[in-house]
């Protein structure tokens, strides 16, 4: 079988990717030890769905982090959730939806729609796109993201309402984690990778967001981020340097 090739958006601030979905897939690969070649893409346009991440698995191009993970679990016969009960597996799907279909969009709003974050965004998320293409692409990308935010619904709310929606999700996460090391006990599962990937992309990045203080105030979420990072990314420097880092 040809080596698995994984395309992800660039890393910054000690994270292998500024995209929570790319980081989730990367964390899954770390947890399961599936051999792969990581390629940094400057934009998501090369993906089959116009979104990152995507992979080439034995000649087949696949998009969507969750669909990719489902396929990899079967092909490589790995399952980071094998210790979970049926109830926990059901809860895992609900947490994934909370993270990816709701809280993610509050993060997108903060990154793209807060004027104080615009320069940071151009130099980070869009930072690997060469000038002057970046200057032309940035306003186009912003319009496209705003349209997605409105279509999804988060973008129809005020800043204050979005912060309140995010606060409810973050409180729910904190309450589910409670005093455990990971969401389903002492062993990590894919849910931890999913939650870590979004929370780290809020907490460890330079973007200004009211969610940072919410994560801090929750008391158990910063230790969770630190714990997951220490277990799966003990040496972020070497991880960031890994792979051919080819621009798309
Ligand atoms: N459901 C997809 C979502 C992927 C996604 O939204 N990726 C973002 C980066 S965080 C992206 O590529 N956005 C580009 C766009 O929508 O134009 C997955 O799980 O992979």
Atom of ligand 1 nearest to the CA of 24: 19
Is there a domain that residue 248 lies in? no
Q: Residues 180-206: pLDDT tens digits?
A: 999 999 999 999 999 999 999 999 999
Task: Tell me what pLDDT residue 230 has.
Answer: 96
Q: Which pTM does this prediction carry? A: 0.95
Neighbouring-strand partners of residue 12: 15
Closest atom of ligand 1 to CA, residue 67: 19
Whether 65 and 71 have beta carbons less than 8 Å apart is answered as: no
Q: Which of 54-58, 95-99, 180-184, 236-240 has the lowest mean pLDDT?
A: 236-240
Cα–Cα distance between 135 and 234 in angstroms, integer? 36
Q: Which residue range is the domain that position 72 belongs to?
A: 4-81+235-241
Does ligand 1 have an atom closer than 6 angstroms to the CB of 44?
yes
Asked if residue 246 is part of any domain, the answer here is no
Protein residue whose Cα sits closest to atom 15 of ligand 1: 51
If asked whether residues 96 and 35 sit together in one domain, one would say no
For residues 173 and 77, membership in a common domain is answered with no
- The answer as to whether 190 is a domain residue is yes
Count of domains for the chain: 2
In a domain? residue 53 = yes
Give domain status of residue 247, yes or no: no
Q: Which of 10, 44, 108, 111 to mutate to test the pocket of ligand 1 (most atoms within 8 A of CB)?
A: 44
> Is residue 104 located within the same domain as residue 201?
yes
Q: What is the pLDDT of residues 38-65, one digit of tens each?
A: 999 999 999 999 999 999 999 999 999 9
| Protein residue closest via CA to atom 14 of ligand 1 | 51
Do 59 and 111 lie in a common domain?
A: no
């Amino acid at each position: 079988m040809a080596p698995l090739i994984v395309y992800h958006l660039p890393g910054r601030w000690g994270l292998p990717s500024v995209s929570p979905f790319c980081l989730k897939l990367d964390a899954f690969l770390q947890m399961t030890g599936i051999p792969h070649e990581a390629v940094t893409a400057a934009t998501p346009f090369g993906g089959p769905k116009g979104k990152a991440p995507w992979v080439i698995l034995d000649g087949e191009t696949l998009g969507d982090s969750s669909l990719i993970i489902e396929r990899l679990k079967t092909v490589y016969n790995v399952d980071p959730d094998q210790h979970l009960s049926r109830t926990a597996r059901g809860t895992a799907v609900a947490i994934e939806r909370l993270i990816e279909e709701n809280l993610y969009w509050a993060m997108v709003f903060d990154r793209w729609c807060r004027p104080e974050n615009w320069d940071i965004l151009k130099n980070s998320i869009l930072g690997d796109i060469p000038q002057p293409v970046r200057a032309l692409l940035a306003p186009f990308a912003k319009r496209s993201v705003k349209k997605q935010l409105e279509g999804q619904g988060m973008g129809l709310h005020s800043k204050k309402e979005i912060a309140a929606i995010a606060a409810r999700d973050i409180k729910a996460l904190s309450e589910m984690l409670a005093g455990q090391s990971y969401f389903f006990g002492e062993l990590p599962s894919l849910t931890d990778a999913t939650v870590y990937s979004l929370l780290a992309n809020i907490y460890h990045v330079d973007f200004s967001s009211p969610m940072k203080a919410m994560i801090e105030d929750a008391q158990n979420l910063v230790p969770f981020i630190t714990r997951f990072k220490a277990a799966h990314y003990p040496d972020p420097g070497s991880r960031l340097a890994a792979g051919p880092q080819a621009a798309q």
